[in-house]
Every structure is written in structure tokens, then in C-alpha cells.
């Protein structure tokens, strides 16, 4: 087993050239990896980023038959050790620098669970290394990154899956097929949102190492155990900051707030069902209503999208100060289809007809009518074997990114923005 080492910024920079050479060598032989894996052949997986969500993704990987975690990478020693313990492989290799993992010939595919500002370089490097890629949402940190990632992936033969697991819901597929028949009539309004709450001593997104975990590790030891310069990557260089490390979702430099973390789940779910593409306009307001700490992303997020040719409005309402809830609702002229929960928790829906509508509409979800769908990670590895297209491929990932980034741009500019499809710009 290769043990992680503590790297200074100088050492990190010195190894960059060596790692680039390794990636170049790997890329040179990448065509040999394009063939589909035989049904009985094990797929070697490298997991990059083993923190909160990354740890869950690793758990999902080890549950897939015919798949083996052969390498893990993280810049924080306890996370790296967590990866070793969960890998169920006594021979798993460990890497602090993810590019060394990409150069490992035993790695066929990677699962990326690092903070959002690392998605673009990791995806681009994985493409160069000839690896198939599962990447946690949101796809990108900026529009320019989304364009670069899309170009690299579409110019390759890599299988890519974005981590919107709600697309693998059986009830979502049935809703999609029903709506395609026109039973709701013209769809003019879609409502969704995310609501969460916690006691004042435990502000949302201020957990340590896992959702809702408030036990703070020794700050001095954490500083010793993390390679801070490597964690920052392309983000502005600042001295060690414990809050930025643990609570990166609270800061624009590393994530995109509720837009990329929560809104993206809901709007991608709706895109999967309706397929309406990138909205024409977005108007978004946000504020920190109660969470008045040093975070710079709002605790309240209200985005309104319009699809002008369709005559359709889609709304997202987000609050970290109430748990009242807002299930996904797709409202048509003839009837409304209402799910029982937020996107990735939905497992049922009902159909409520308008008073004047036909009376023979289905009442809602019919269990057993639609074939059960493979879970999202299994869908990815099925496609790695077949070289097929997963549920959330790169073109859908691009739509996801533009949609949530439109809300960020509207909020930051303080005005309604629109999507210029010809120039592919938010204006």
C-alpha cells in the first residue's frame, strides 16, 4: 500500500511536472481502454475526495457487483484513512495527489466527490488519463468550466455520469412517460424548493465531516493533517481557515451555495421529466435572513425561471430556517402531478385533475407498472461495461450547470438574466 505523504507547496509544484508526464503516458495508451469490459471482468475504481458526500459515494461503489475500489485519494489524512477502511480492499492504494491516482493503470474509472471548485480540473485530467467518470453535482463552478468540461468529454469516448440520483427513480420515469402523453395539458407552472432547519447552536452547513455532525475535531490536529495548499487549488490563496475547510459550501470561492447544491437537484429532476432544456430567463433574490455568520452565500434563495416559447414558469424556493417543505409539483391546464417529496426522496406521486377535466385520468403512481430502475451508481457501471449513455450524461450536465448558474448570476448582478443560446452566454 502506498502511504500518503505531507506535501509543502514547493513539493506540490515540483511534482506537477512529473505527474503531468505520468498522465501523458497514460493518455498515450488510453485507446486500449475504450473497449467494453467483459461481463466477468472487474472494473477498478479510484475514489477522489472521501469527505461527506465522497464517503457516501464510496459506499455506493463497493455495493456494485464486479466493481473493486483499487485506489483512494484525499488531501486530509482522516478522510484518506476512511477511504481505506470503507474500500473493502486490503490492497487499496492511497494517494494524496489525485493525479497520481489517475496515472494508476489499475484504475479504469473514477468517482469524484471533491468540493465543487475541483470538479473541472479533475474531470479534465481524468479525460486525459482515459478514465470513465462519475462526478458529484453540481457539474461546474463557472460557465466557462462547464464549456471546457463538455468539450473535453464530447471529444472523448469516456462514459460520464453526473450525480443526480433522482433520475434513477422508477416513479420519476413513470411520471415522465405519463406526462409525455399530454394528460396534464399544457404545463404552465412547475414549483419546487428545499427547506431545512436546525437549532440555533447548530447553523445549517456548519457540520464537521458529515451531514448533521456537530462534534468539532481538534483544530490544531486538523491543520496538521490537511494539505491546505493542495485543497485550495485554483481558489484564492489564503492562510489556513478551518471554517472554509469544513464548511466550504458557505463560500462562493468553493461552491455555488443553494444554487449548485440544492436547486440543481430539483431543476435537474424536472429537466429529466419534462426535457425543456435551458430556461430563457431567470430572476433570483437571496439574503441571509437568520444565519448571520461569516458565510457569504444566502440562507434564503428564491429563483424564478421562464421558458417563453412554452409559456412555462418554474420556481425554486429555498430556506435554511424552516422545514415546512415543498414537494415537486408540475401544474398543467388539465391536471397537476404532485410528488410526495423533494426530488431525490420522491417515490410516489398523485394526479389532481381540474374540476372541468376528464374523469378517467390515472389517480397517481402505479407500483409495478414501470420496470424497476437500477440505482444511479449501478447505471454508471452498467454503461462503463456497455459503453452506453448513463441517465445524466454530459449534455444534461451542461443544462444543469447553466440553469443553476443563471440564478447565481441574477443574484450577483441584481437583475433578471437571460440565456443567449447563440453565443452560449448568460447576459
Read off the pLDDT of residues 82-136 as tens digits, 9 standing for 90 and up.
999 999 999 999 999 999 999 999 999 999 999 999 999 999 999 999 999 999 9
Q: Is residue 20 predicted with pLDDT exceeding 60?
A: no
- Residue 140 sits in the same domain as residue 266: no
% residues pLDDT > 70 (the chain) = 91
- How much is the pLDDT for 100? 98
Confidence class for position 32, pLDDT limits 50, 70, 90: very low
* 132: in domain: yes
Q: Which domain holds residue 144?
A: 9-158
Which CATH number covers residue 314? 3.30.360.10
Return the minimum-mean-pLDDT range out of 11-20, 82-91, 380-389. 11-20
Read off the pLDDT of residues 135-184 as tens digits, 9 standing for 90 and up.
999 999 999 999 999 999 999 999 999 999 999 999 999 999 999 999 99
Which of 158, 185, 218 corresponds to the end of one domain? 158
- Residue 151 sits in the same domain as residue 297: no
* 340: in domain: yes
- How much is the pLDDT for 36? 62
* 220: in domain: no
- Residue 143 sits in the same domain as residue 287: no
Number of domains, the chain: 2
* 246: in domain: no
Which CATH number covers residue 153? 3.40.50.720
- Residue 52 sits in the same domain as residue 90: yes
Burial string for 84-96 (b: 16+ CB within 10 Å, else e) reads bebbebeebbbbb
- Residue 278 sits in the same domain as residue 174: yes
- Residue 173 sits in the same domain as residue 134: no
* 213: in domain: no
* 29: in domain: yes
To the question of pTM greater than 0.85 for the whole model, the response is yes
Amino acid at each position: 500500500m502506498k502511504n500518503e505523504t505531507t506535501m509543502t507547496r514547493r513539493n506540490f509544484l515540483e511534482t506537477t511536472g512529473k505527474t503531468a508526464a505520468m498522465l501523458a503516458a497514460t493518455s498515450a495508451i488510453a485507446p486500449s481502454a475504450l473497449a467494453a469490459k467483459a461481463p466477468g471482468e472487474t472494473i477498478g475504481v479510484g475514489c477522489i475526495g472521501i469527505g461527506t458526500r465522497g464517503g457516501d459515494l464510496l459506499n455506493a461503489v463497493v455495493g456494485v457487483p464486479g466493481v473493486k475500489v483499487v485506489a483512494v485519494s484525499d488531501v486530509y489524512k482522516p478522510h484518506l484513512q476512511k477511504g481505506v477502511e470503507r474500500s473493502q480492499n486490503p490492497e487499496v492504494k492511497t494517494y494524496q495527489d489525485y493525479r497520481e491516482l489517475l496515472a494508476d493503470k489499475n484504475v479504469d474509472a473514477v468517482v469524484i466527490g471533491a468540493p465543487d471548485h475541483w470538479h473541472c480540473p479533475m474531470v479534465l485530467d481524468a479525460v486525459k488519463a482515459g478514465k470513465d467518470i462519475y462526478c458529484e453535482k453540481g457539474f461546474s463552478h463557472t460557465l466557462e468550466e462547464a464549456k471546457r468540461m463538455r468539450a473535453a468529454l464530447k471529444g472523448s469516448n469516456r462514459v460520464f455520469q453526473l450525480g443526480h440520483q433522482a433520475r434513477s427513480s422508477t416513479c420519476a420515469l413513470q411520471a415522465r412517460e405519463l406526462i409525455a402523453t399530454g394528460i396534464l395539458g399544457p404545463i404552465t407552472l412547475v414549483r419546487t424548493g428545499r427547506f431545512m432547519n436546525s437549532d440555533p447552536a447548530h447553523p445549517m452547513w456548519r457540520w464537521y465531516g458529515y451531514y448533521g455532525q456537530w462534534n468539532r475535531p481538534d483544530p490544531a490536529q486538523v491543520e496538521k493533517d490537511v494539505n491546505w495548499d493542495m485543497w485550495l487549488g485554483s481558489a484564492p490563496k489564503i492562510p489556513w481557515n478551518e471554517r472554509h475547510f469544513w464548511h466550504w459550501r458557505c463560500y462562493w470561492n468553493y461552491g455555488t451555495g443553494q444554487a449548485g447544491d440544492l436547486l440543481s437537484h430539483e431543476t435537474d429532476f424536472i429537466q429529466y421529466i419534462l426535457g425543456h432544456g435551458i430556461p430563457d430567463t431567470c430572476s433570483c433574490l437571496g439574503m441571509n435572513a437568520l444565519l448571520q455568520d461569516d458565510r457569504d452565500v444566502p440562507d434564503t434563495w428564491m429563483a424564478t425561471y421562464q421558458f417563453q416559447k412554452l409559456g412555462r414558469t418554474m420556481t425554486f424556493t429555498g430556506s435554511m430556517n424552516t422545514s415546512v417543505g415543498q414537494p415537486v409539483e408540475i401544474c398543467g391546464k388539465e391536471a397537476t402531478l404532485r410528488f410526495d417529496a423533494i426530488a431525490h426522496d420522491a417515490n410516489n406521486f398523485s394526479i389532481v385533475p381540474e374540476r372541468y377535466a376528464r374523469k378517467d385520468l390515472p389517480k397517481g403512481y402505479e407500483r409495478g407498472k414501470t420496470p424497476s430502475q437500477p440505482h444511479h451508481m449501478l447505471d454508471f457501471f452498467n454503461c462503463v461495461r456497455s459503453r452506453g449513455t448513463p441517465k445524466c450524461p454530459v449534455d444534461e450536465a451542461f443544462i444543469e450547470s447553466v440553469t443553476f448558474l443563471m440564478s447565481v448570476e441574477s443574484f450577483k448582478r441584481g437583475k433578471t438574466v437571460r440565456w443567449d443560446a447563440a453565443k452560449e452566454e448568460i447576459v
